[in-house]
Amino acid sequence: MSRKSTAAGLLDWPIVRGAARDAFVKLDPRKLAKNPVIFVTEMVSVVVTVFFVRDLLANTGTAGFTGQITAWLWFTVLFANFAEAVAEGRGKAQADSLRRTRTETHAKRLIDPAGKSGMKDVVQGVSALDLKLGDVVLVEAGDVIPCDGEIIEGVASVNESAITGESAPVIREAGGDRSAVTGGTTVLSDWIKVKVTAEPGSTFIDRMIALVEGAQRQKTPNELALSILLSGLTIIFLIVCVTLWPLAAYSGTTLSVSVLIALLVCLIPTTIGGLLSAIGIAGMDRLIRFNVIATSGRAVEAAGDVDTLLLDKTGTITFGNRMADEFIPVGAATERELAEAVLLASLADETPEGRSIVALAQSRYDVRAPFSVEAPEPALEGAGAASDPDPCAEMTVVPFSAQTRISGVNIAGRALRKGAVDAILAQIAETKIPDGFHKTVERISRAGGTPLAVSDNGRLLGVVYLKDIVKPGIKERFAALRAMGIKTVMVTGDNPTTAAAIAGEAGVDDFIAQATPEDKLAYIRKEQQGGRLIAMCGDGSNDAPALAQADVGVAMQTGTQAAREAGNMVDLDSDPTKLIEVVAIGKQLLMTRGALTTFSIANDVAKYFAIIPALFVAAYPELEAMNVMRLASSQSAILSAVIFNALIIVALIPLALRGVEYRPVGAAALLRRNLLIYGAGGLIAPFVGIKLIDLVVQALRLA
């Protein structure tokens, strides 16, 4: 997400228009009570309004001054409400786009499902809203999946762009960790039977809508601590302003209630108080723009302080399916001869492994199938090579079975077979095993791969190296996490040899082999007891306990329902390295809050120099030395400070929503940056702003 596109979102006129309306709705004291600073500002605005009405009816000469203060105090409250409403409006816009995917959908509910082909069951057409937990629905090519569920039969290509925004379809199939489907997505090919796992109104999309609208957002510990600090400062300045009245009377200075309230509002941290909610909401909104749904504001904050990241291997670091990586010939066989043989043996193999073998033979060795398996009378053209099958030959497919652990074809008098090494060797005499075959198999096994032996009429041609492929670019992303001070740990059920090979290829810092769900849970608890914050990425049901225990549990959208419900974040792109963006956004949220708090408190110091001399200069002429801005009059000074106090909230709304730019620097460097930029800026800006406003106020008064 570029800065430009984010900035464009800030200026979305429909959001601004709705936020302006909501700013008035939020004047309800019951809503503002959650924000003590702005609540106090509203209450004192009511008091000043009463005094303005009194002065107006009494026709006193101070009615105009009191009225201006009243107006700008109310503007301060409205601008604070507006900041929060803009942030909420961006979330509601996201929710509306999700809600559009939840249009009226019809479902094919199965009555007593029994058939295996998907065509022999009794189908009842119903509305998706009438589906109940445990119902089974048939979803065919072109149908919209009507509900969240688990595939219990079939395999299909599914378009999940309505949820993830990605146009590339994904494969969903029964069994394993890729069986979960989401309502609102579309089946592009084949058919699946889906068991409903969520009641209407509590589906994944429903939860996403509620979350992005902020309905379930809770204040985080950091926010609560900051709220307590702001409340404390408000009480302190309230006491100060109350005690100023008798002190002023003792010195012979008469202070009106309106002036004291103006002083109070200028001194309490209204800037950060007005922007605090917007910062938190915007942090979750930025996650959504990276296709990550956070179910907890606490998780967003915790992501900014994560020390260790645990990642499940299968489906998270790797694709999860064994794929062909290399053809290794043995004996007198050549690579091309092996590639041609294994291509023919795999043409009818629809497993992921079989498809990957065909793809590798075509891409790396430029071997093409001379016919399609479905063709009844295959025509073989260009048969010049010795290994080409006879054009008149018929092909017989030998399907894979758990008993034989072998598959292949019989064609042109050739019996082409591929399968488990021991199963293939059982058909071959010991004297016909080429030298180096066993060493090749052992080398593949040590590297964590799976060897498949290939034979042609009982002659060993070589070995297919199947491996769990590491997702591209993941090593560089882990290096970026390491640079951010985050330790990466891979957890897998594989043996230590396989785990070490995958860990080395992926570039993780450590690994836990042969890990059970209990092992993952114990590791996280041990690290947490040492004061570390742990993030966990996973997609399987066996990852659910660890996802629930981790401070930041990122579940993959492609994972099971149990994993998605256990995590406090869901990555719609199923990219485990997305945690880089999650951590950056968490750190950005904390940095933004700290920067604006620094700016707000520094602001108050500068406004002190504007108002205090104006209040007491008549009684103590020495205070004129503090009037460094040379403001025109006491009334102009007070009014200019109040106007600046209101306008600075509006000026900082884009920064609160966009966030302070994150840079991976240490805490000391970050503190220096905050003090130099936002501390110094908070001191200088009011001097410049109040002086300019004072000049405008004087010009208007003289006009």
Question: What is the spatial distance between Cα 330 and Cα 92, in angstroms, rounded to a whole number?
Answer: 63
pLDDT, one tens digit per residue, over 166-176 is: 545 677 888 76
Does 403 carry a binding-site annotation?
yes
Does 598 carry a binding-site annotation?
no
Per-residue pLDDT averaged across 645-660, rounded? Answer: 86
132-199 topology per CATH: 2.70.150
Does 418 carry a binding-site annotation?
yes
Question: What is the spatial distance between Cα 24 and Cα 77, in angstroms, rounded to a whole number?
Answer: 9
Contact yes or no for 323/35 (Cβ under 8 A): no
Per-residue pLDDT averaged across 41-69, rounded? Answer: 87
Per-residue pLDDT averaged across 250-259, rounded? Answer: 77
State in words which class domain 295-317+471-572 has: alpha beta
Q: What is the pLDDT of residue 360?
A: 87
Percent with pLDDT over 70 in the chain? 82
Q: What is the pLDDT of residue 49?
A: 92
Query: Under CATH, domain 320-370+394-470 is a member of which superfamily?
Result: Calcium-transporting ATPase, cytoplasmic domain N (3.40.1110.10)
Q: What is the pLDDT of residue 74?
A: 93
Contact yes or no for 545/516 (Cβ under 8 A): no
Does 519 carry a binding-site annotation?
no
Whether 1 shows a pLDDT value over 70: the answer reads no
Question: What is the spatial distance between Cα 72 and Cα 83, in angstroms, rounded to a whole number?
Answer: 16
531 pLDDT tier (thresholds 50, 70, 90): confident
Render the burial of 261-299: b for 16+ CB within 10 Å, e for the rest. Answer: bbbbbbbbbbbbbbbbbbbbbbbbbbbbebbbbbbbbbb
pLDDT, one tens digit per residue, over 486-525 is: 888 988 877 787 788 888 888 899 988 877 778 888 888 8
pLDDT, one tens digit per residue, over 263-318 is: 888 888 888 888 877 787 777 777 777 778 777 667 777 788 888 888 877 666 77
Residue intervals of the chain classified under CATH 3.40.1110.10 are 320-370+394-470
Contact yes or no for 131/137 (Cβ under 8 A): yes
| Better pLDDT: 384 or 193 | 193
pLDDT, one tens digit per residue, over 393-449 is: 577 888 877 677 788 888 888 888 888 888 888 888 777 788 888 888 888 877 777
Based on the residue annotation, tell me whether 456 is a catalytic residue of this protein: no
Does 353 carry a binding-site annotation?
yes
Does 405 carry a binding-site annotation?
yes
Per-residue pLDDT averaged across 559-585, rounded? Answer: 76
Does 305 carry a binding-site annotation?
no
pLDDT, one tens digit per residue, over 150-188 is: 888 888 888 776 555 454 567 788 876 577 787 777 888
As a residue count, the chain comes to: 703
pLDDT, one tens digit per residue, over 637-647 is: 888 888 998 89
Whether 657 shows a pLDDT value over 70: the answer reads yes
Does 198 carry a binding-site annotation?
no
CA geometry: angle 439, 442, 446, nearest 5 deg = 140
Tally of CB atoms within 10 A around 171: 14
683 pLDDT tier (thresholds 50, 70, 90): confident
Per-residue pLDDT averaged across 587-604, rounded? Answer: 85
Does 279 carry a binding-site annotation?
no
Q: What is the pLDDT of residue 309?
A: 86
Residue intervals of the chain classified under CATH 2.70.150.10 are 132-199
Whether 694 shows a pLDDT value over 50: the answer reads yes
Does 571 carry a binding-site annotation?
no
Average pLDDT, the chain: 78
Does 289 carry a binding-site annotation?
no
23 pLDDT tier (thresholds 50, 70, 90): confident
Q: What is the pLDDT of residue 387?
A: 44
Q: What is the pLDDT of residue 5?
A: 39
pLDDT, one tens digit per residue, over 337-380 is: 888 888 888 887 777 788 888 888 888 888 776 655 443 333 33
Whether 382 shows a pLDDT value over 60: the answer reads no
Does 349 carry a binding-site annotation?
yes
The DSSP annotation for 382-411 comes to ---STTSPPTT--EEEE---TTT-EEEEEE
Whether 386 shows a pLDDT value over 50: the answer reads no
Q: Which of 55, 148, 177, 312 is catalytic?
A: 312
